Amino acid sequence: MSLPHAILTALLEKPSSGLELTRRFDKSIGYFWSATHQQIYRELGRLEEAGAIRALPRPEQPTRGQKKEYEVLPAGRDELAAWVGRIEDPKPIRDALLLRLRAAGVVGTQGLEAEVRRHLELHRAQSAEYRAIEERDFGDGRGSEGDRLRHLVLRAGIDLENFWLGWLEAARAELADMGADAAADARTGPEPAP
- pLDDT at residue 186 in the model: 65
- φ, ψ (nearest 5 deg) of residue 54: -145, 155
pLDDT at 142: 73
- Report field, pTM of the whole predicted structure over 0.85: no
CB burial class (10 A; 0-12, 13-18, 19+) of residue 21? buried
Phi then psi for residue 16, to 5 deg, are -150, 160
Question: 59-108: per-residue pLDDT in tens?
Answer: 665 556 668 899 999 999 999 999 999 999 988 888 999 999 999 999 99
Report pLDDT digits (tens) over 28-48.
Answer: 888 888 888 999 999 999 999
